[in-house]
A and B are shown apart, each in its own frame.
Chain A
Amino acid sequence: MYSQYIVGAENPVLMSAAEQIFSAGGKRMRPALVFLVSRATLELTGLEELTREHRRLAEIIEMIHTASLIHDDVLDESDMRRGKETVHQLYGTRVAVLAGDFMFAQSSWYLANLENLEVIKLISQVIKDFASGEIKQASSLFDCDVKLDEYLIKSYYKTASLIAASTKGAAIFSAVDNDISEQMYQYGKNLGLSFQVVDDILDFTQSAEQLGKPAGSDLAKGNLTAPVIFALEKQAKLREIIETEFCETGSLNEAIELVMNSDGIERARNLAKQKADVAIQCLQCLPPSSFRLALEGMVKFNLERID
């Protein structure tokens, strides 16, 4: 993939680290969204082909996403990502931090070279939002008083912000009107939020094998997500257990049981569906096309993960 060469040109270790992460697959959902929105919006302005900017935007987005994953894995001390060993597991923390920094820096440089101020601001905001999201999460660990709003803001910073910037950026490069690119922003934002809520549900409902990491790992760290926030409204015992930080043997499993047996999962599912519906509504401004259908499909595909 072209990005590997952008990243690793001068440093073989970084090259190897980049290869590790880029070739490991992943869903490549974000570049796909950029291409789909690009094509779905092209028609509106009479463009026929994807531009160089569209393509470069897709690469930049994936680079930023990957950089954030490499750093996340360091912070979470994770061993596996996308079925392979993480960069820091193979090369150490130092290389992982540097590789992540390098990718953030390179993506910023390529972004600047696209010379579109609106898109530059849009995407720079995302990198700022990543940091805000991490800080917000770290400051509310094990805080049973966390509200749904705060959770949604944190999810926006950590996940939806990047997706919204990708979809809006793609629309901008198609030179559509502001209101259309705004709609694309809202599409991306709501898809991103729906996506995060589904991930958070799966952290409870899937087994360790399927997840590639232990189930309830968010909860274990004190990161209280939608299912837990809803469950806490009904289960006083859950609050007690969380506040002891699971020092009691078997208490984490007890907590997971409590969440599963409450209406927490159901309500979180409804939340995911709600955001998904808003996302689909935002697509209505686009002319009907197979690309618009595919964008709707992305929303539905995400929801299918919890059906």
Chain B
Amino acid sequence: MGTKLLHPNISPSHVLPSTPTIPKLTKPPTHKQHFFFTSRSNFAIKVSDQTSNLLNNQTDNSPTNYPTITHLKTKLNQTLQGLNRGIFGIPSEKKSEIEEMVKVLEGLNPNPNPTVDLDKLGGCWKLIYSTITILGSKRTKLGLRDFISLGDFFQVIDVAKGKAVNEIMFNVRGLNLLSGKLVIEASFNISSKSRVDIRYDTSTIVPDQLMNMFRKNYDVLLGIFNPDGWLEITYVDETLRIGRDDKGNIFILERSNQTDP
């Protein structure tokens, strides 16, 4: 019987809760490898035949070994390192790799009907990856090459009011190290147990000096970050949310502690 414990990942992301991956020990079946998975449980678990396997360092790549969600999330975070949210383009192999991981996670979604319990969605989130890119002449026009750099992207969801506020932080290099943000306010309403329709309301750039810089190309900015359309929430748990929109984009966000960035 070759069931082995999957080697826990070397460096779990600091944003994920550090849950140790200890499998539930149950009575091992005689000649088959079994794994337990239900749509209610939060973890896909593997059967280990002996506790000594905990100390075993081998990684088993056989397809019947389902890694835990925590493991997947760690692996995803590692893969996303250094990609700057994918905003300035990534090679297509990387993109596919991420998409594969997303699909696996979506298959293990612990909350397939998130709009039924909106508290799961409310609060502050930070974008860690999306398929949206700012490249070519758009990137040049917005000065995002050398002059202005993109900071974090935050999303604050107010479930009571049915509103979502997206904040895109900018930093301007130069004399004053000016920083500011683009704030886009949108409203949403539930259209199914996992889908919301989103409508753009207003937007603004603060402070004024930053607004002046973007004034000429404001429409380009809004075109990129336009929230109109629908969003299917394909995965959500306490710390991670994945969504797909009507334009085929993928969004991966993690819960953020910042109340008012």
Distance (whole angstroms) from the CB of B211 to the closest CB of chain A: 20
B-side contacts of A143, CB under 8 Å: 136-137, 140
A248–B92 contact, CB under 8 A? yes
B200 is an interface residue with CB less than 8 A from chain A: no
Residues from 133 to 171 in A contacting B, C-beta threshold 8 Å:
138-145
A245–B91 contact, CB under 8 A? no
A-side contacts of B135, CB under 8 Å: 142, 243-245, 247
Residues from 96 to 142 in B contacting A, C-beta threshold 8 Å:
133, 135-137, 139-141
A-side contacts of B137, CB under 8 Å: 140-145, 243
A-side contacts of B91, CB under 8 Å: 247-249
Complex formed: what's the CA distance from A139 to B144 in Å? 11
A252 is an interface residue with CB less than 8 A from chain B: no
B90–A142 contact, CB under 8 A? no
With contacts A243-B135, A245-B135 known, is A139 near B140, CB below 8 A?
yes
Complex formed: what's the CA distance from A140 to B139 in Å? 10
B136–A242 contact, CB under 8 A? yes
B-side contacts of A141, CB under 8 Å: 137, 140, 145
A-side contacts of B139, CB under 8 Å: 142, 245
Distance (whole angstroms) from the CB of A259 to the closest CB of chain B: 17
- How many residues of A are counted as interface, with CB atoms below 8 angstroms from the partner's CB atoms? 16
A-side contacts of B66, CB under 8 Å: none
Complex formed: what's the CA distance from A145 to B136 in Å? 11
B136–A245 contact, CB under 8 A? yes
B151 is an interface residue with CB less than 8 A from chain A: no
Complex formed: what's the CA distance from A244 to B137 in Å? 10
A-side contacts of B89, CB under 8 Å: 244-245, 247
Complex formed: what's the CA distance from A222 to B145 in Å? 11
Query: Nearest CB to that of A140 among chain B residues?
Result: B140
Complex formed: what's the CA distance from A244 to B139 in Å? 11
Distance (whole angstroms) from the CB of B230 to the closest CB of chain A: 27
A144–B90 contact, CB under 8 A? no
Complex formed: what's the CA distance from A68 to B137 in Å? 26
Majority secondary structure, A binding face: loop
B88 is an interface residue with CB less than 8 A from chain A: yes
Complex formed: what's the CA distance from A139 to B135 in Å? 14
Complex formed: what's the CA distance from A75 to B146 in Å? 11
Chain A 120-140 near chain B by CB (<8 Å), digits 1 or 0? 000000000000000000111
Distance (whole angstroms) from the CB of B60 to the closest CB of chain A: 30
With contacts A142-B135, A243-B135, A245-B135 known, is A222 near B88, CB below 8 A?
no
Complex formed: what's the CA distance from A242 to B140 in Å? 13
A-side contacts of B88, CB under 8 Å: 245, 247
Query: Nearest CB to that of B135 among chain A residues?
Result: A245
Distance (whole angstroms) from the CB of A271 to the closest CB of chain B: 23
B-side contacts of A222, CB under 8 Å: 140
B-side contacts of A139, CB under 8 Å: 140-141
Distance (whole angstroms) from the CB of A252 to the closest CB of chain B: 12
B-side contacts of A140, CB under 8 Å: 137, 140
Chain A 243-284 near chain B by CB (<8 Å), digits 1 or 0? 111011100000000000000000000000000000000000
B-side contacts of A142, CB under 8 Å: 135-137, 139-140
Distance (whole angstroms) from the CB of B248 to the closest CB of chain A: 17
Complex formed: what's the CA distance from A244 to B88 in Å? 8
Complex formed: what's the CA distance from A51 to B35 in Å? 94
B-side contacts of A248, CB under 8 Å: 91-92
B-side contacts of A144, CB under 8 Å: 136-137
Query: Nearest CB to that of A248 among chain B residues?
Result: B91
Complex formed: what's the CA distance from A303 to B90 in Å? 40
Query: Nearest CB to that of A251 among chain B residues?
Result: B91
Complex formed: what's the CA distance from A143 to B139 in Å? 10
Complex formed: what's the CA distance from A139 to B139 in Å? 10
Complex formed: what's the CA distance from A138 to B143 in Å? 9
Residues from 67 to 91 in B contacting A, C-beta threshold 8 Å:
88-91
Distance (whole angstroms) from the CB of A221 to the closest CB of chain B: 10
Complex formed: what's the CA distance from A140 to B145 in Å? 11
Contacts A142-B140, A222-B140, A249-B93 known; 14 new A-B pairs at CB < 8 A? A138-B145, A139-B140, A141-B140, A141-B145, A142-B137, A142-B139, A143-B136, A144-B137, A145-B137, A243-B136, A244-B135, A245-B89, A247-B89, A247-B91
Which A residues have a C-beta under 8 Å from some C-beta of B?
Answer: 138-145, 222, 242-245, 247-249
Q: What are the 10 A-B residue pairs with the smallest beta carbon separation, nearest first? A: A247-B89, A243-B136, A143-B137, A142-B136, A141-B140, A245-B135, A249-B91, A248-B91, A244-B89, A142-B137
The 28 listed contacts between A and B (C-beta, < 8 Å) are A138-B140, A138-B145, A139-B141, A140-B137, A140-B140, A141-B137, A141-B140, A142-B135, A142-B139, A142-B140, A143-B136, A143-B137, A143-B140, A144-B136, A145-B137, A242-B136, A243-B135, A243-B136, A243-B137, A244-B89, A244-B133, A244-B135, A244-B136, A245-B135, A245-B136, A247-B88, A247-B91, A249-B91
